[in-house]
Each structure stands twice: as structure tokens, then as C-alpha cells.
Structure 1
Amino acid sequence: MTDRLGHTGTMTATPTELLIARQLEVHDHVLARGWRLDGDTGPGDAGFLDDATAGWSYPASFGGARTNTVADATPVLLHCYFTFGDEGDVVFAVVPAGNLRGSGCPVHDTRERRFPLTEAGRVDLVTLTTVLDELEPRARAHDVHALVECLYFGPCTR
């Protein structure tokens, strides 16, 4: 049997190979759910983890409506990426669609959710699926106009 990295048998993978396998596993999982790859580096590259633009976003956010990007005013799409936790360890983060930086109401606010890797150094796809099952419908239902009004005129009455 051959793995995604082209290895056969029971060879021990290097740390870089494990890193890439973890990234590709998440990549396949979220793309199958309708997400897209962002950034300049792909998950098959060891530099993907260190690329601040690398990750995935959910284009169906806001019902798939396209918006012009205006600095800190445009609501963000539901997105996820690998990052580093407070102790410098690799974690996986999901950011709900909505208004960044605590602006607006709690329903429209986006608080990054961080998930430590499993003992095997992988993303727990069962937990990720549960989180995405909650956040994707909410992201699709968000109205960009309501988000902007909430951002500028204070917490909405939702």
C-alpha cells in the first residue's frame, strides 16, 4: 500500500513528512466540504505552517455573496489554519464568519477557536467536523449588511 507521500510498507516518516501528511489530511477534509485553499503556499509544502496567508476559507459564507474588501470593515469569511498556541506548540484554529476584534454583538463576533493536535500530532477530524457542522450553516446565513450595521452602530438586537 502506498501513502499520500508515495511511501510503501512500514517505513518511519520524518517530521517533515508527518507535517505534510497532517496538512494534506485537513486539506482533503475541508475541500470535500466545499472550502477553498487560501494563500501562496499549498499544504504539500513544509513552509505552509509558517505562511501567514496559508489556510482555508468557506466561500459559502454570507450565502456565497461576494463583497468588496474594505480594511477592517469587511466581515470575514469562516476560515481555518494551522498556527502556534501560547506555548509555541502547533494548534489548529477556526475563525467563525463575522466581525473581527470584538466589534458588534456576540452572535456576529469572531473568536478564534484553537484545537491542540492529538497525541499522534494530527488534527482531530471528528471534533473539527462537529465544529464545522455548527459554524458552516451560521456562516451561510449571515447577512453582510446586518454584520456591517452591527459593527458600526453597536450590538444588534438579535
Structure 2
Amino acid sequence: MTATLLITRQLEVHDHVLARDWRLDGDTGPADVRFLDDATAGWSYPASFGGERTNTVSDTTPVVLQCYFTFGDEGEVVFAVVPAGNLRGSGCAKHDTAELQFPLTTGGRVDLGTLTAMLDELEPRARAHDVHALVECRYFGPCPADRR
């Protein structure tokens, strides 16, 4: 894959999510070939948790809605979205989250139609999450309605 195509697909996603009020994360920008190899590079949705700011404690703080390029099980480049919530499955189905990966198109790009449909569903849920409820669910187990 050429450097031009790498940068073009990164900029397409960048323009698309920034138009939806997302922000760029990481130490490199999407116009940099090294963007794909930067583990901190991607985008996040600052309106997650109603825009409430939280202190970040690794492996503890709920994650905001985010997306990035990564590598799939076979080493291929894929695009990933992580819905807002608690990683590592310690709470209930409403609050737990995991990375969702989807392959690039045959042309090596992100299917922006699929991404749009996914974000149309995930952004309102991310905004509605209460970070306090997420933390309680993580530390005290599944929410009462989800206990069996």
C-alpha cells in the first residue's frame, strides 16, 4: 500500500469524525505515515458521559467512545471502534464494552457509510452514560436489574 493511500484513508476518517465533533488523540496526525503505528493515535468522542471530565486511572476509568486503525488477528489493517463503557467485562451488559473491528474495503479504505451508521447508534449512548454508574457497576458488580 502506498503512503499516499495510507494518508488519504486516514484523512477521510479524520474529516468525517471531526465533522461529528470528535477530537484527534495521540502524538501523530493522520497526515503522517507513522499514524498507523502510533499506539496512541486515533479519535475520541469528548461528549461521552455527557461531556463530564474524569481523572484517568489506567485499567479502571471507563473509556470514552473512540476509534482507531489497528491490526486484526491475521496482521491485516482493520478499523476499530470502542463504545463508551467499562472494559474487561466486570459489570453488566449495559455498561461493559469491547473493541469492535471491521475490515477495510477492497480499496483499503474505511466504509464511511458503515461507520456513520455505527456512530449514529453509539454517540447518543455514549452521551447518556453516567460515569458514576459505570464505576459503581465495575466495582460492585452487575447493576441490580442485571443480577441473576
Q: Which residue of 2 aligns with 1:148?
A: 135
RMSD, aligned CA: 0.9
1:115 and 1:73 map into 2 onto residues whose CA distance is: 26
What is the letter of the counterpart of residue 82 of structure 2? V
TM-score, with structure 2 as normaliser: 0.96
Q: 2:98 aligns with which of 111, 118, 122?
A: 111
Q: Does 1:86 align with 2:70?
A: no
Q: Which residue of 1 aligns with 2:40?
A: 53
Q: Which residue of 2 aligns with 1:77?
A: 64
Larger radius of gyration: 1
Q: Which residue of 2 aligns with 1:29?
A: 16
For structure 2, the 5+ residue unaligned runs are: none
| 1:118-133 alignment runs, 5 A limit | 118-133=105-120
Give how far 1:114 is off: 0.4
TM-score, with structure 1 as normaliser: 0.90
Q: Runs in 1 of length 4+ with deviation above 3 angstroms? A: none
SS of 2:64's partner is: coil
For structure 1, the 5+ residue unaligned runs are: 1-13
SS of 1:155's partner is: coil
Identity of aligned residues (%): 81
SS of 1:93's partner is: strand
Number of aligned residue pairs: 145
Which deviates the most, 132-141 or 63-72? 63-72
Which deviates the most, 85-94 or 103-112? 103-112
Cα deviation code 1:120-146 (max 9, x no counterpart): 110000000000001000000000110
2:70 and 2:9 map into 1 onto residues whose CA distance is: 13
